[in-house]
Amino acid sequence: MISERVRAVPPSGIRKYFDMASREKDIVTLGVGEPDFDTPSCVKEKGLEAIELNRTHYTGNAGLPELRERIAQKLKAENAIHVGVEDIIITSGSSEGLDLALRTVIDEGSEVLTPDPAYVAYGPLIQLAGGKPVYVPTTEKNEFRVKAEDIRKRVTKKTRAILYCSPNNPTGSVLTKEDLKGIAELAIEKDLVVISDEIYEKLIYDEEHYSIASLKGMADRTITLNGFSKAFAATGWRVGYAVAKGELLESMYKIHQYCMLCAPSVSQYAMLAAFDDPGSIRQMVKTYDARRKLLVKGLNEIPGITCHMPKGAFYAFPNITGTGLTSEQFAEKLIKEAKVALVPGHVFGPSGEGYVRCSYSVSTETIIEALDRMGKLFS
């Protein structure tokens, strides 16, 4: 009954730990992958207003023109990406945009290069589109930044695209402008599409975010994915956007028309207000930054654990090899013996082995409590 293609995709590696953690009482979690802030009030009010005004029907397939206009302004001002409303599709979360992008560029057996470790959905979505994920290992020594030369070694005749996320989930790594230039040169030379997942762009601490689409020669071969979930603490609203030019965008649009029709209308109206309150993002980033330092410094005080300072997103990715445990053993021990939930690194790809992902998108008290419990377990 079930297709070979779906059979071939492994079940979510996170599920097991979710079930395990859900069974425990008094659990303290560093396992969350979403902001712990609330959606800004101005967005919520706009959403309520949309319901009251019966803005509850389909919108145009590509999404509200006024929202796309705001996004175009934002892309110009913040990302140096110069596009019109016709180059933007509003998607149901950036996840949908990712699926559209992959289905657009992948033929049966096509290869997509993606850093390892990376977001858990990349590999499976590439497979579901009929392609083959080719992982490019990244290392702690290199701050988990994917290098163009490492990508280059894995380019074959079947390679269609490079997919990466910066800032990265789970490592918190941020690609520098030089890194991006290297990737851009390679993409142009080998005629590859670049799928740039920029969902964490606002959550960046010591560096600046650059969009690869803004680099010379890249506008026509880049699909930029972004959304409102992380920057506006709005994961449940399901609004993202995909940005590309010409045939790339038209092809994604074709799939989107058939499979999604449009992103949730109420949510789209609500997000019209998202750009009105830049102060809320600044405040959020400041708070994350303080928690980041608390968590990373605290982790480094625990015997057997060392942790580099992540530059973006809201994850620390400590090295736990000093405890003598595998990622899996570590995560299970923590849930069972310390009642602390986190995500073992190997679910993000083979290079994640020896690491675990700890989210600091939780309250200061939660971080302190989790560190305390971990400290007691390993001292």
Q: Which is nearer to another protein, 71 or 347 (CB)?
A: 347
Contact between 368 and another protein per CB under 8 A: yes
Least distance in angstroms from the C-beta of 158 to another protein: 28
Residue type, 250: E
Segment near another protein (CB under 8 A), from 12-20, 106-114, 136-144, 172-180? 12-20
- State both tokens at 155: 């380019």
Strands (E), the chain: 28-29, 88-91, 111-116, 132-137, 159-165, 193-197, 222-227, 240-243, 315-316, 340-341, 343-344, 356-359
Q: Can you give the three-state secondary structure of 332-365, one letter per residue?
A: HHHHHHHCEECEEHHHHCHHHCCEEEEECCCCHH
Contact between 21 and another protein per CB under 8 A: yes
Contact between 163 and another protein per CB under 8 A: no
Contact between 233 and another protein per CB under 8 A: no
Contact between 48 and another protein per CB under 8 A: no
Least distance in angstroms from the C-beta of 307 to another protein: 12
Per DSSP bridges, beta strands 111-116 and 159-165 are parallel
CB 312 within 8 A of CB 204: yes
Q: Which is nearer to another protein, 120 or 231 (CB)?
A: 120
Contact between 41 and another protein per CB under 8 A: no
Contact between 118 and another protein per CB under 8 A: no
Our CA dihedral for 76, 82, 84, 85, rounded to 10 degrees, sits at: -50
> Please, which of residues 174-203 interact with another protein by CB under 8 A?
none
- State both tokens at 81: 């990406």
Q: Which is nearer to another protein, 233 or 248 (CB)?
A: 233
Contact between 227 and another protein per CB under 8 A: no
Cα–Cα distance measured from residue 364 to residue 30, given in angstroms and rounded to the nearest whole number: 11
Contact residues toward another protein (CB under 8 A) are 12, 14, 17-18, 21-22, 27, 29, 31-34, 36, 119-121, 169, 286-287, 290-291, 293-294, 297-298, 341, 343, 364-365, 368
